[in-house]
Amino acid sequence: MKLLLLSIVLVNSLLSFDYKLQPKEVSKNIYCFFGLPEVMDKRNNGNMANSCFVNMGTSYLVIDSGPTFQYATQAYEKMKKIKNLPVSYVVNTHVHDDHWLGNCFYKTQNSKIIGSAAFKELPKLSVTRMQRRISAEAFHGTTQEFPTIFVDKEKIFDINAKTVDIKSVNHKAHTNSDLFIYIPSENVVFAGDLVFNERVPSLRDGDIDGWLQALREIKKMDVKYIIGGHGDVVGKNAVNFTYNYLFELRAQVKKLLDAGEDIGDVVNDVVMPKYKNVPFYDSIHKQNVEHVYRTLEWEDE
């Protein structure tokens, strides 16, 4: 029997990865695990997005569950050392898998999982994007568990007398179905990937005009903290990096498009030097330029 138990422990240790997570205190009741400004690979094993915990009094509310079962397990173990509370709800801000594959751990905790209406149509894949790019050890135990509560427009509810207001953007922005979460008692908005910091945002699944519109709505909100899906800038001005990049990008592409330049020249001419040293500029910026050109070109038809 001892040999069997030793074998089980050995197998589990071989099929595990230590994310070395450290929660960062945003405020008295808010802690976040801030992801690295890197592409997912076998070195960071998907630790590239933010996952946050809000102490609602008798339980935690989790905003985005992270990239794997092991990540979510380790994050919760760290939080229990701060205060040993159950997780009542998990909110997935959008459908990109670095933000929700940790759901499978919270399902074992009987947490209720909330997501955008887009999850209703999301197919389960034989191999996920995350699974292709990270190690088998880190992905071990991870399954695709989708939300069971959906937000079509807005969902308002209370946890221990604290109001949680989840709003759907209801048009394409970063994706075709983004949520942001407002908790008045904590003076905070969790914006998901509507807000990036420390890296260039990606427009591959989005719409620049819809994204700018959503950011203008968030900018009007009277809160102390705006916490995005990437980066550890969390103050009122956290929205500015993404907004300014997208606004300037659109203006430059529009100017060259109106001057009659073709897409190949515009992709090379819109350089935006002040962002050149920001992570992901080399891999994403030209794609963003092309995406915006095609969007605006279609609008002009």
The domain locations on the chain are: 12-239
Would you write out the chain's pLDDT as a tens digit for each of its 301 residues?
A: 444 433 433 344 446 899 999 999 999 999 999 999 999 999 999 999 999 999 999 999 999 999 999 999 999 999 999 999 999 999 999 999 999 999 999 999 999 999 999 999 999 999 999 999 999 999 999 999 999 999 999 999 999 999 999 999 999 999 999 999 999 999 999 999 999 999 999 999 999 999 999 999 999 999 999 999 999 999 999 999 999 999 999 999 999 999 999 999 999 999 999 999 999 999 999 999 999 999 999 875 5
Run of H or E including 79: helix 69-82
Q: What is the pLDDT of residue 71?
A: 98
CA 236/CA 220 separation, integer angstroms: 10
Q: Model-level pTM?
A: 0.94
Question: What are the structure tokens assigned to 31, written together?
Answer: 């802690």
Please provide the size of the chain in residues.
Answer: 301
- Angle between the 281-300 and 208-219 helix axes, to the nearest 10 degrees? 100
Q: What is the pLDDT of residue 301?
A: 55
Q: How far is CA 154 from CA 110, 112, 135, 157, in A?
A: 23, 17, 37, 10
Q: What is the dihedral of CA 142, 198, 276, 208, to 10 degrees?
A: 80
Are the CB atoms for 97 and 133 separated by under 8 Å?
Answer: no
Q: What is the pLDDT of residue 298?
A: 82
CA 210/CA 169 separation, integer angstroms: 9
Run of H or E including 13: helix 2-14
CA 91/CA 113 separation, integer angstroms: 6
C-beta neighbour count of 189 within 10 angstroms: 26
Q: What is the pLDDT of residue 5?
A: 37
CA 39/CA 277 separation, integer angstroms: 16
CATH topology of domain 12-239: Metallo-beta-lactamase; Chain A (3.60.15)
Token pair 């073709």: residue = 262
Are the CB atoms for 134 and 124 separated by under 8 Å?
Answer: no
